[in-house]
Amino acid sequence: MADVGQSENRRNVRGIVGTSFRHLTTWWSDMRERRRLGSEFATLERQGQLDSVLQDAGVSRSSVQAILHAHPGARRRLSGMMQRLGLSRRALHDSGAQHEVELTCTLCEATGKCQHWLDSGATTGNEKFCPNAETLERLRTAIAKQAKR
């Protein structure tokens, strides 16, 4: 009987260590990606091109720090939310709202609530915190109408 308890404890410890390692790996990868993007922004700044690139993207210079902070987690959260809601990147692109949705997600301040929602497995309730919820719901409705035809 003691062996069963020890075996269970080992599995629990392995699970905790594995989860912690995955979180650490993701954190490290995100930091490297942020550093890469920051370097890219710095290069554009040195070349005198940053303002025109930001303008083309519809982003203000004051948003650069928010973009760096959110990158690349915003992309993962948006993909997770769209998957949870049954939406594809293709559908978002075809809707013409891709740029707006991605920018809103990148500059969003509800990242903790979003990640908690994603971790929970919920399929509703995102409208309480997500500034893209209305747009994503319109897209879901449009896709559902097309499927009925």
CA dihedral 82, 88, 94, 99 (to 10 degrees): 40
Domain residue spans in the chain?
1-58, 72-149
Place of tokens 């929970």: 120
Contact 90, 80 (CB under 8 A): no
Which tokens go with 61? 């210079």
Asked if the model's pLDDT at residue 100 lies above 80, the reply is: yes
pLDDT tens readout for residues 61-79: 999 988 888 888 899 999 9
pLDDT score recorded for residue 148: 84
Asked if the model's pLDDT at residue 10 lies above 80, the reply is: no
The span from the CA of 60 to the CA of 53, in Å, is: 10
Asked if the model's pLDDT at residue 11 lies above 60, the reply is: yes
DSSP structural state of residue 1: -
pLDDT score recorded for residue 36: 93
For the residues 123-144, what does the mean pLDDT come to? 94
Kindly report the pTM of this predicted structure. 0.71
Q: Which amino acid is at 143?
A: I
Contact 107, 70 (CB under 8 A): yes
Nearest to 115 by CA among 84, 138, 144: 84
Handedness of CA 18, 20, 23, 29 (dihedral sign): negative
pLDDT tens readout for residues 21-64: 787 888 898 889 889 999 999 999 999 999 999 999 888 999 99
Asked if the model's pLDDT at residue 18 lies above 80, the reply is: no
> How many CB atoms neighbour CB 136 within 10 A?
22
